[in-house]
C-alpha cells in the first residue's frame, strides 16, 4: 500500500510567526493558534512545493537539512505529517 499524500493549507490560510525556539501558527480557517517546534514549520514550508508523501517530503527536506543518522526518516516524517493533519494544518489527499 502506498504512503498517503498530504498537501499544505491554501495560500493565506496560515500565519507563521517565529518565537525563538517555538513557532506560532495561526490557522485563519479554524481561528486556532498552534505552538510547534522544528521540524513542523520546515515540513509546512516544504509542502508548499506541492502535495507529496513522506518519502518525497524527506527528500525535499534533505536538500536543506542533514538527515543522516536520523533513523527511518520517512517514518518520522510520516508521523509528523499525521500530527499536522490532526491539527488541521495539512490535509491528506
Cell of residue 26, nine digits = 495561526
Cell of residue 91, nine digits = 490535509
pTM of the model: 0.89
Predicted pLDDT of residue 74: 87
Domain with 74, as residue range(s), is: 6-92
Is 1 part of a structural domain of the chain? no
Structural domain count of the chain:
1
Is 47 part of a structural domain of the chain? yes
Cα 2 from Cα 54, distance rounded (Å)? 10
CA distances for 82 relative to 11, 58, 68, 86, 92, angstroms = 20, 14, 22, 6, 9
pLDDT tens for each residue of 6-64: 999 999 999 999 999 999 999 999 999 999 999 999 999 999 999 999 999 999 998 88
Is 88 part of a structural domain of the chain? yes
Consecutive H or E run containing 66 = none
8-state DSSP, 21: T
H-state helical runs in 1-93: 40-47, 54-62, 73-87
Predicted pLDDT of residue 1: 63
Amino acid at each position: 500500500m502506498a504512503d498517503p499524500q498530504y498537501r499544505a493549507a491554501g495560500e493565506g490560510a496560515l500565519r507563521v510567526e517565529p518565537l525563538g525556539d517555538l513557532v506560532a501558527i495561526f490557522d485563519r480557517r479554524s481561528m486556532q493558534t498552534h505552538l510547534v517546534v522544528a521540524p513542523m514549520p520546515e515540513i509546512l514550508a516544504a509542502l508548499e512545493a506541492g502535495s507529496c508523501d513522506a518519502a518525497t517530503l524527506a527528500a525535499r527536506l534533505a536538500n536543506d537539512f542533514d538527515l543522516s543518522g536520523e533513523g527511518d526518516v520517512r517514518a518520522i516524517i510520516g508521523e509528523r505529517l499525521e500530527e499536522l493533519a490532526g491539527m488541521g494544518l495539512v490535509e491528506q489527499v
